[in-house]
Structure 1
C-alpha cells in the first residue's frame, strides 16, 4: 500500500507561520514556497497574513520572496504592503520584487505607482524590473511606454538604457508612422552613437524598417 509522503500532505499553516516568523531564510524560504500549495479559499485568512509576516522579516531574501507571493495571491491588503515596500524598503532587491508584483495587479492600476518609483528610484535593478514588467504588457498606452523609454535612455547605467531602447523599439514597431512611433524613432536615432555597444545594437534593431 502506498504511503503518504510529505509532498502529498497539505502544509500546516501554524508550522509555516513559525518558520516564517523565525526570520531565518533556511526555514522561512521553504515555508513561503509551500504557501502556493494552500487553496485559494485560504487566501485572505491564511496565505496573505503569512506573506505579510514574511515581508516584515529582516532578511531581504525573505522579504523579496514574500513580495513575489503577494503578486500571485492578490488582495487589497497585499496591495497596500507592496505600495509601501516599493518606496520604503532599504534593499533594491525587495523594491524590485515589489514593483514586479504591483504590475500583476494590472497596468492601469499600477502605472502611477510604477512611474513614480521609476522616476525616484535610481537603483538599476528596480528600474529594470519596472521596465521588464511593463514592456510586454499588451495594450499599454504607448505614451506611457514613451515616458518610460525617454527616462530610461537618459540613465547612467547601460543595462537600463538597453531596456529603454527596447521599449522604444516596441513603440516604433507597433505604432508605425503615427506621432508616437515617430517620437520613439527620434529618441532611438542618437543612441546609435551610445558608448555601450548593447544600447547601439538595441537602437539599430528598433530602427530597422
Structure 2
C-alpha cells in the first residue's frame, strides 16, 4: 500500500480501513510513520489507539516516545494504557520512570499486569522486586498472583531470602487461588522455611491448593538406558 493510499484510509470512517492503513505503516521508516501515527493515537476507537501504541513501540524516536507517554498516562481506556506500557518498554531503561509512575498511579489490573511483564523484560532486579512487593498487596487477585510468580523468580538469587519473607505470609491468605500460587512458587526455593510451608499447604482444606503442592513434588524418573 503506497503512502497516498495509507493517508486516505486513515481518514476513512471505517475502523477496519484505518486499522489496515496502520498495519501497512509498519513497513515505513519512523520518519514517515510516526507523524501519521500521532493522529491515530487520538482516534475515537480504542482499538485504533491500541494498535497505534503497538506500532509506535516499533518506531522508536523521541516523538514516538512522547506519544506513548501521553497514551500511558492519559488515555481513558485501560486497554490502550496497557498496550502503551508494553510498547514504551521497548525503549529500555529510558522507560523506567514512566512505567514506575504508571504502576504507582494506575490501579487498573490490566495496566498493572502489563507493567509487571514489561519490568521483568527490562532485567532490573531491584525495581522488579520492589514492584512485586507493591503488587502482592493489590486488591486484584490476578495482580497478586503475578507478584507471587515474579517473587519466585528470585529463588537462587542473592535476594531469595527477601522474596521468601514476602511470600510465606500468603500461606494464611483467605483466597485459595493465592495459596495455590504460593505452593507452586515455593517449589522454586530450597530453604527449609519453604519446605515447611509446603507441608502445611499439603493439609489445606482446598483441593486446588493440595494439588498445587503435589504437582511440584513430582520429579521426572531417571531415564533407563
Q: Which residue is 1:19 aligned to?
A: 9
Q: CA deviation at 1:149?
A: 0.4
Residue of 113, 117, 120 corresponding to 2:102: 117
| Alignment partners' CA distance in 2, 1:151 and 1:132 | 14
Q: Which has the larger radius of gyration?
A: 2
Distance 2:175 2:118 in 1: 23
Which blocks of at least 5 consecutive residues in structure 1 are unaligned?
Answer: 1-10
Greater relative contact order structure (CA < 8 Å, 6+ sep): 1
* Residues 195, 71 of structure 1: alpha-carbon distance in 2 compared, 3 angstrom cutoff: farther
* RMSD between superposed Cα atoms in Å: 1.5
Which string of whole-angstrom CA distances, capped at 9 and with x for unpartnered residues, describes residues 118-167 of structure 1?
11001111001111122243xx2321111110111111111111111111
In the superposition, the TM-score normalised over structure 1's length comes to 0.84
Deviation at 1:49, TM superposition (A): 1.3
* Shift, 1:168, TM fit: 0.8
Per the TM alignment, residue 23 of structure 1 is displaced from its structure 2 partner at its CA by 5.5
* 1:19 CA displacement: 1.6
User: Is 1:83 aligned to 2:66, yes or no?
Assistant: no
- Counterpart of 2:169? 190
**Aligned residue runs from structure 1 range 1-209, under 5 A:** 11-22=1-12, 24-38=14-28, 42-44=29-31, 46-106=32-92, 108-137=93-122, 140-173=123-156, 175=157, 178=158, 180-208=159-187, 209=190
Give unmatched runs, 5+ long, in structure 2: 191-225
**How far apart, in 1, do the equivalents of 2:10 and 2:173 lie?**
46
Taking a change above 3 Å as real, the CA distance of residues 23 and 76 of structure 1, as seen in their structure-2 partners, is farther
1:57 and 1:189 map into 2 onto residues whose CA distance is 46
Number of aligned residues? 188
Contact kept? 1:21, 1:54, Cα under 8 Å: no
Residues 158, 23 of structure 1: alpha-carbon distance in 2 compared, 3 angstrom cutoff: farther
- SS for the counterpart of 1:80 is helix
Separation of aligned partners in 2, 1:13 and 1:124: 38
